[in-house]
Amino acid sequence: MKVALVFPPQGHFTQPYLSLPSLAAYLRTNGVEQVEQIDANIEAYDYFLTEARMNLALGRIDAGGGVAGLDGAGGLGFTQMERYQLLTEIDLAGSEVAARVEEAKEVLRTPELFYDHERYLWAGRTVERALRILSAEYWPTRLTAHNFVMRKRIESSAEIVAATADERENPYVEYFREFTLPRLRALDPDLVGISITFGAQAIPALTLARQIREWKPDCHITVGGGLLAYVGQKLSRRPETWELIDSMVMLEGERPLLEICRAVDEGRGVAGIGNVIHRCATGEVVEEPEAQPLNIQELPTPDFDGLPLEKYLSPELVLPLACTRGCYWGKCVFCTLHTVIGPGYRGRGIDQTVEDLAKLSEKYGTKHFYLAIEDLPPNMARALPRKIIEAGLDIDWWCDARLEHDVFDEQVCEDLAASGCRRIAFGYESSSQRVLDKMCKGIDPQASLELMQRVHDAGISITLYVMIGFPTETLEEARETLATVLRQRDIVQEVSARVFYLDESSEVYKRRSEFDIAEVFPDPTADLQVYYDFRANSGMSRREARDLYLEFTRALQSHFPVFQNTNMLYHELKSHYFLYLNHFGSWGALLENVLVGEADPSGRPLRAAHTLERELRFDRAVVDERLTSLDSETLRPRYQSDLIEDTDRERLDAELEPLAPFPSHLVYDVRSGELHCLSPGARDLLERCSGGRSPEEVAAYVPSEQRAAALECIAELMRTGLARPARNPQRTTKIEEVLS
Amino acid sequence: MTEKEPAAEKKAAEDRPDPANPNDDQKAKAEERAEKAKYVFKITPANPRNAFDFEDVADK
C-alpha cells in the first residue's frame, strides 16, 4: 500500500505546516508503511524562485515591449495603470532580480546572512519582486508570500474546475505537470491525500487532482482539511467534483484517512467510514455520519520525516505543534475557526506536550516552535512553562491566547518568558465593552490593557488581532479602538487588523436579527460562497468600515516600527519576526539594533553607485497612489482576495479619467533591492549629489521659493539610501487627529 | 461592423501620440510638462502595498 500525502500551494514558505506530519505519523504508527509526504508548496516556491524560471517568465512577459506600448498612449486607464505599474518595474529590475533570486533564497536560509538586517531586507524584497514577475506572467493572477489569487473565484465550483485547466492564468498547471506528477509517477501511489487548509489552496489542490486523475484513473484521490468544513458539503453536490476526486474527509483526518487506506488496500469502497463524503457506484453522493472526535492524548507526535526541511526560506527550522484542538472558550459569535477540526475542545497532556517538544527538538535539531492552537488554555499557561523549565528544555516558542485577566499575572508572565515564550497573539478586537459583550468575548478592555503591560514587562512580544465593522459597532467605537491600540504602541509590537466578514457558519449569521443585520447579499453566481456582504440597521456601513480599516493600516505604518517601510517583511513572512526576536533576545534589543535606524540627513550627499534607472512618460508615483486609493471603491465580497473583480475593472476602465502624461524616473537600488519613483526635480537633485557639496550647495540652483522643498527632498534621498544609507522615514496620517 | 467605425479608429490612431515622431502640438505640451516638472521634488517608494498585506497574515 503506497500513500502520497500532498500539501498543495499556497501556504507560507517560512516553515512546514502540521497537517501532513500529523497524518503521516498516525498512518505510520498504524501500520501503513509507505507514506510519502510531499510539500508541493515549498517545492513550487523553490522552483519559481530560480534564475532559470525567472528568465523564462521575463521572456514570456516581454516587459519592455509592454511599457513602450503604454508609454505611447495618450493617457492611462485603470487596467493600463495596473499593467504600467507591473511592467515598468519588471522592465527596469527584472533581469537583476532574476540573476540574484537564488542568492536571496540563500540569504534567507543562512543564519549569518539572515540576521544581517540589510541583507535580510534585500533578500525579502528580491523574493517579493520575483513573485511579482511570476505573477505578471500569469496576470491578473497574483502569487505572493502569503496568498494566491486568480481571476476565477474560489467561491464558484465551476470557476474552480475551469481554473484547474487554465494554462494561461494558473501557474500550477505547468508546474505540477513538469514536477509533481513525475514524482508521483515514480512513487506510483495507490492513494493520494491532498490537504486543503486555506482558500488559496483550493485551485492548486484540484489542479493536481485533475492531473493525477488523467494519469492514473484508478488511484484513489481524497481531499481533506480545514477549508472543507466550510465548503465541503457544497462542493460535494457538484457532479464535476467527482470527476476529480473519490472522497472527501471532513473535520480531523487521521482516523478516516487510515480507514480509507485500509479500504483501498482491500479493494473495497469507502462506504461506512465516518466523516467521509463519497460517491457510490450508483452515482449517489453519500455523506457518512460524523465520527466521534479523537482523543488527542492517544495521537503520536507529528512526524516531519520526508519533508524537504532544508528548503523552507528561514535560517532555522520553526516546527508547528498542536497541544489542543478546538477552543476552550468557543463562544465568540464571529469565530468559526475552532469548529473545523471537529466538535468539542480537547487537550493533550502537559507532560505529553513537553515530551513532544523534547522529541521534535532533538530529532530535527531545532529549538523553535509555533504552537498551532486557537488559544493557550489557562491550565497550560500556568503549568506548561514550569514543566518546560523543569525538563531543562532550551526552546523558544509562540502561540495565540485569549486575554485571560486572571491567568496572566506577573508570575505566569515571568514563567512564560523564562520557558522561551517570545510572542503571544491576543484577540483584542475592540476597546468597547459594549462591542466585546456583543461579540461574547468575555473580556474587559481595561483589564486587557493591564494584562498586556504585564506580558510586555516580562519581555514577550505582543500581537493584537483587531476587528473593524462588527455589526452594530459605530464609527466612534471603532475609532476609539484604533486610537487605544495606537496609544499602546510602546507595548504592542504587531497588529493584525481586519474588516468583519459575515461567515455563514458563525453565530452572528445564524442569529443575525440580534445583530441588527437587515439584509444579506448572497452572490447567485457563487455556489461556494461562505462570506457575505450585508447591510445592518445600526452601526457603521461596510464602506465606512473599509475606509477606517485603510486609515488604520496607514497609521500602523506610521507608528509601529514593524510596519514601517519594508520592515513589513518581518510581519508578513510568518516565522521571520519570531526568529529575529529570538536572535536579538528581546523586543527592546531588536528595536534598538534593527528596526529603528538613525537617519542622518547632514553631511555631503553622495549618490549611490549601484542603481538602475528608467525614464517614464507617466508619473509612476501617481499610478501607485491611484491604484491604492481605489481599494475602497471596489466591493470585496471575496474573502482574502485583493484582486479587482472583472465587473469592477470594467466600471473603473469606463469611469476613471485617464491619467495624463507627466515625466518621472524609476530607480532601482541594487544594493537594497528597493525601488523608488523620483520626480524630475528629485532626479536632478540626485544627479548633483556628488559627495563634494553640502545639501545647501546642491540645492543652490533652485529658486529660493522652492529651496526648502529641495532640501527636504535631499534629506529624503539620504534617508532612502539613494544618496546615503538610512532607514525608516516617518509619515503622518489622519489618525493622529484621533490621537490628539 | 459599420463603415464609420474603421474611420473613427483611423482618426484615433492619428491622434494618438507617437513618442518617436511627435507633432508640434505634442512637442509643445511635452516641453510645458518638462518645465513644470523641473521643480517638483518628490520621491516615493515604488513598492505599493495594499491593505490586504495587514490582514490576518499571522493566521496563515
Burial degree of B27 (CB within 10 A; 0-12, 13-18, 19+): exposed
> What's the pLDDT band for B18 if we cut at 50, 70, 90?
low
Question: Of all residues in chain A, what percent carry a pLDDT higher than 90?
Answer: 80
**CA B44/CA B46 separation, integer angstroms:** 6
Interstrand relation of A396-401 and A421-429 (parallel, antiparallel or unpaired): parallel
Contact between B51 and A642 using a beta-carbon 8 Å cutoff? yes
Do B57 and A679 count as a contact with CB atoms less than 8 A apart? no
All cell numbers assigned to A203: 485551485
For chain B, the first-to-last Cα distance in angstroms comes to 51
- Residue A211, number of CB atoms within 10 A of its CB: 20
pLDDT band at A645 (very low <50, low <70, confident <90, very high): confident
Average pLDDT over residues B31-52: 79
- Estimate the share of chain B in helix, then strand, then coil, as percent rounded to the nearest 5: 55, 5, 40
Interface mutation vs chain B, best among A675, A701, A704, A730, most B CBs within 10 Å: A675
pLDDT of residue B56: 54
Question: Is the pLDDT at A188 greater than 70, yes or no?
Answer: yes
Query: Cell for A172?
Result: 500550477
Task: Fill in the DSSP letter of residue A76.
Answer: B
Residue type at A259? Answer: E
Cα–Cα nearest to A316, from A570, A25, A578 = A578
Question: How far is A161 from A482, CA to CA, in rounded Å?
Answer: 41
pLDDT of residue A63: 82
What residue spans of A662-723 are helical by DSSP H? 680-687, 695-698, 704-720
3-class DSSP state of A164: coil
Q: What is the pLDDT of residues A145-183, one digit of tens each?
A: 988 999 999 999 999 999 999 999 999 999 999 999 999
Chain A CB contacts of B55 under 8 Å are 496-499, 640
Specify the higher pLDDT residue, A538 or A602: A538
Q: Cell numbers of A691, please?
A: 559627495
Name the nearest CA neighbour of A570 among A14, A144, A132.
Answer: A14
Residue labelled with grid coordinates 512577459? A61
Alpha helices, H only, A110-240: 111-114, 117-137, 157-163, 171-175, 181-187, 202-215, 226-236
Judge whether A643 and A151 are in contact, CB under 8 Å: yes
Q: Up-side HSE of residue A67: CA atoms within 13 Å toward CB?
A: 19
**First-last CA distance in chain A:** 67
Write out pLDDT tens, residues A504-522.
Answer: 999 999 999 999 999 999 9
Residue A730 pLDDT greater than 50, yes or no: no
Specify the range with the lowest mean pLDDT, choosing from A78-82, A137-141, A657-661, A722-726: A722-726
Amino acid at site A545: A
* Confidence at residue B53, expressed as pLDDT on a 0 to 100 scale: 61
- Using a CB–CB cutoff of 8 Å, tell me whether B33 touches chain A: yes
User: Is pLDDT at A621 greater than 70 in this prediction?
Assistant: yes
ipTM above 0.90, yes or no: no
* Residues of chain B with C-beta less than 8 angstroms from the C-beta of A663: 33-34, 37
Nearest CA to A269 among A240, A250, A247, A238? Answer: A247
- Average confidence (pLDDT) over A521-531: 92
Query: SS3 of A624, please?
Result: helix
Distance CA A600, CA A721 (A): 11
Top pLDDT among B16 and A496 is at A496
CA-CA distance, A211 to A158, in Å (whole number)? 17
Dump strand ranges (E) for A491-602: 494-499, 502-503, 517-521, 531-536
Rounded to a whole number of angstroms, the distance from the CA of B2 to the nearest CA of chain A is 22
Q: Does A680 contact B40 at a Cβ distance shorter than 8 Å?
A: yes
Query: What residues contact A487, with CB distance under 8 A and at least 6 apart?
Result: A739
Mean pLDDT of A232-238: 95
Is there a contact between A620 and B59 if contact means CB atoms under 8 Å apart?
no
Give the whole-angstrom CA distance, residue A203 versus residue A193: 15
Distance, in Å, from the CA atom of A227 to the CA atom of A197, rounded to the nearest integer, reads 5
Mean pLDDT of chain A: 92
pTM: 0.92
Chain-centroid distance of CA A543 in Å reads: 24
The reported pLDDT for the residue numbered A127 is: 96
pLDDT for residue A482: 94
In angstroms, the CA A460 to CA A199 distance is: 31
Say whether pLDDT at B2 is over 50.
no
DSSP state for residue A513 in the 8-state scheme: G
Distance CA A572, CA A565 (A): 12
C-alpha cell at A396: 523558544
Q: What is the pLDDT of residue A727?
A: 38
Largest pairwise CA distance in chain A = 88
- The reply to whether A615 touches chain B by the CB within 8 Å rule is no
pLDDT of residue A691: 83
**pLDDT score for A728:** 39
pLDDT for A35-49, tens place per residue? 999 999 999 999 999
Return the residue in B15, B42, B50 with the most chain A beta carbons within 10 A, the one to mutate for interface testing: B42
Name A615's bridge partners: A665
Count of residues for chain B?
60
Enumerate residues 6+ apart whose C-beta is below 8 A from A61: A87, A90, A94, A133, A136, A137
Extract long-range pairs of A581-584: CB within 8 Å, 24+ residues apart. Answer: A581/A422, A581/A423, A581/A461, A582/A368, A582/A396, A582/A422, A583/A115
A396 φ, ψ (degrees, to nearest 5): -135, 150
CA distance A710 to A52: 43
- pLDDT of B57 over the 70 cut: no
DSSP code at position A606? B
Q: How many residues does chain A have?
A: 740
- Classified as helix, coil or strand, A592 is helix
For A359-372, the pLDDT digits (tens) are: 999 999 999 999 99
- Test A674 with B45 for CB contact under 8 angstroms: yes
> For residue range A556-589, what is the model confidence (pLDDT) as tens digits?
888 999 888 778 778 888 899 999 999 999 999 9
Phi, psi of A582 (to 5 degrees): -60, -45
* Buried/exposed A358-385: b ≥16 CB within 10 Å, e otherwise: bebbeeeebbbbbbbbbbbbbebbbbbb
Which of A17-31, A75-89, B25-39 is the least confident region? B25-39
Contacts for A288 with CB less than 8 Å, ≥ 6 apart: A271, A272, A273, A274, A275, A276, A277, A278
Span of A2-11, A169-178, A429-438, A530-539 with lowest mean pLDDT: A530-539
- Asked if the model's pLDDT at residue B29 lies above 80, the reply is no
Which of A241-245, A255-259, A619-623, A717-721 shows the lowest mean pLDDT across its residues?
A: A717-721
Structure confidence by residue, pLDDT tens digits, A199-226: 999 999 999 999 999 999 999 999 999 9
Query: pLDDT tens for residues A239-282?
Result: 999 999 999 999 999 999 999 999 999 999 999 999 999 999 89
Residue A453's pLDDT is what?
Answer: 98
Sign of CA dihedral A113, A399, A19, A642: negative
CB distance from A498 to chain B under 8 Å?
yes
pLDDT tens profile A270-286: 999 999 999 998 989 99
Confidence check: pLDDT of A725 > 50: no
Taking the Cβ of residue A195 and every Cβ of chain B, the question of whether any pair is shorter than 8 Å is answered with: no
